[in-house]
A and B are shown apart, each in its own frame.
Chain A
């Protein structure tokens, strides 16, 4: 089997317009959570959100102006990762047929769908007397909203002709995309793949839908930016964010041929299904995913120094994940640093898997662990080392794990390790 290395990373998130600034904000526990503007809240009081810091359309040329926001974010994250790996859009790779695109997205084209329905029903109500038909829609509505629009845009921009696959697995979408790309390279179906996770659904339609599920955090009265409190006794839900993150994977041999020094090795992937409940998590399924990843990487639990938890700040999610981690790590649990960065960047849904893996790889490179923000009093049912409030510096981190657990019962776990060992 081929060893798979990471040679480029990219991110556009609520924490920053690139990976370096996003990681710095995560380390500083600088939260991007805030009160949503009235036009997004559809009349709901107290809606929180975590938007990206820049307008993606403004950063891209006119050629990409017609894409849905999720595809635009994906292009920007991919651009940063490809730039770091010195892959130029003007010159497709010679082995383009062995170079794939693996994307993860929870909801395809949410902005396009929301705007389409809004336009339709507004026009329908205004139609009487106006002589205008409500049925006149932009002809690109379908190619904008299709879930694989981001993968298609990246494939076309960089001339990549290998498999171009999109995984829609709710909150585990891009963790699964990364894992499946990893396997495709490991088993020799591809030599390289750009993995991208993206999500942009901060729209009135999706906010009222999420609100109905009763999982959204209520604003912290003293500090709205501290409203999402994973593993905390007084947590009350998560905050919806948006963003994208990209990870360029290559076989070790391909990276060596190009003279590229890897950022890390992607070493293990596990994936399981709970077959249990539409939204409630299960210890058994999560344990299975983590154990598969460890076994694939050939690592013992005590060889992982940092775990970026799924940690959504819901009661059921946090408690079950803490139990799963203890079940997998056993005696090594006390030496494992665990944090949830969702406290500061919100829940990035389809982008969460790649974003959190990228932050974990940065933590390993820098020897600095981002904290779990806003954690002043941990829930006694979650008794792990959550790196509360303050980042931890000067750490010797050789391997990291990132968990992503999805509605629908899919559990995905990824392990990356340093290449200098």
Chain B
């Protein structure tokens, strides 16, 4: 799912402490990401779902949960309201 995709990326590539994601009110600013790392994180989503997220900088002042919800909304908007199956998508990518 989308949330796991993002947290896994941040933990393994941006050295974010996984325990942080247990906080329900976690803010993006608490993750101490620079703007380049933020857009690299979004690329994980963009690469899977095939579109460019509209405004990366809006997330800098959001909570983590709100960011995930906002990204999900964009993904659905690009897929007729559906959430594409990530596992299938991954298989399709690897099959190339």
Interface residues of A (CB under 8 A from B): 62, 66, 123, 130-133, 135-136, 138-140
Give the distance to chain B from A43, nearest Cβ to Cβ, in Å. 19
By beta carbon, the residue of chain A nearest B51 is A133
Contact of A139 with B36 at beta-carbon distance under 8 Å, contacts A131-B78, A131-B79 already known: yes
A25 CB to nearest chain B CB (Å) = 37
* Closest A residue, CB atoms, query B79: A131
Q: Binding site of B, secondary structure by majority: helix, strand, loop or mixed? A: helix
A65 to B, closest residue via Cβ: B13
The verdict on A136 contacting B46 (CB below 8 Å), with A131-B78, A131-B79 known, is: yes
Is B43's CB under 8 angstroms from A138's CB? yes
B-side residues, CB < 8 A to A, are 13, 36, 39-40, 42-43, 46-47, 49-52, 78-79
Q: Are B78 and A139 in contact (CB under 8 A)?
A: no
**Complex-state Cα separation, A123 to B49, whole angstroms:** 12
How far is B54's CA from A278's CA once the two chains are assembled, in angstroms? 45
Return the chain A residue nearest B96 by Cβ: A122
- Cβ-defined contact, A132 with B40, below 8 A: no
Q: Residues of B contacting A130 with CB < 8 Å? A: 50
A136 to chain B: which residues have CB within 8 Å?
Answer: 43, 46-47, 50-52
* Cβ-neighbour of B50 out of A62, A66, A131 (below 8 A): A131
Asked if A133 and B52 sit within 8 Å, CB to CB, the answer is yes
Select from chain B the residue with minimum beta-carbon distance to A136: B46
Verify A135–B52 contact, CB threshold 8 A. yes
Which residues of the partner chain B approach A132 to less than 8 Å between Cβ atoms? 49-51
14 contacts between A and B (CB under 8 A): A130-B50, A131-B50, A131-B78, A132-B50, A132-B51, A133-B50, A136-B43, A136-B47, A136-B50, A136-B52, A138-B40, A138-B47, A139-B42, A139-B43
Which A residues are CB-close (under 8 A) to B36?
139-140
Report chain B residues within 8 Å CB of A66. Answer: 40
Interface contacts beyond A62-B13, A136-B52: sample of 14 additional A-B pairs, CB < 8 Å, sorted by A:
A123-B50, A131-B50, A131-B78, A131-B79, A132-B49, A132-B50, A132-B51, A133-B52, A136-B50, A136-B51, A138-B43, A138-B47, A139-B40, A139-B43
Please name all residues of chain A whose beta carbon is closer than 8 Å to the beta carbon of B46 when the two chains form the complex.
136
From B47, which residue of chain A is reached at the shortest CB distance? Answer: A136
**What is the CB-to-nearest-CB distance from A51 to chain B, in angstroms, rounded to a whole number?**
24
Most buried by B among A62, A66, A133: A133
B52 surroundings in chain A (CB, below 8 A) = 133, 135-136
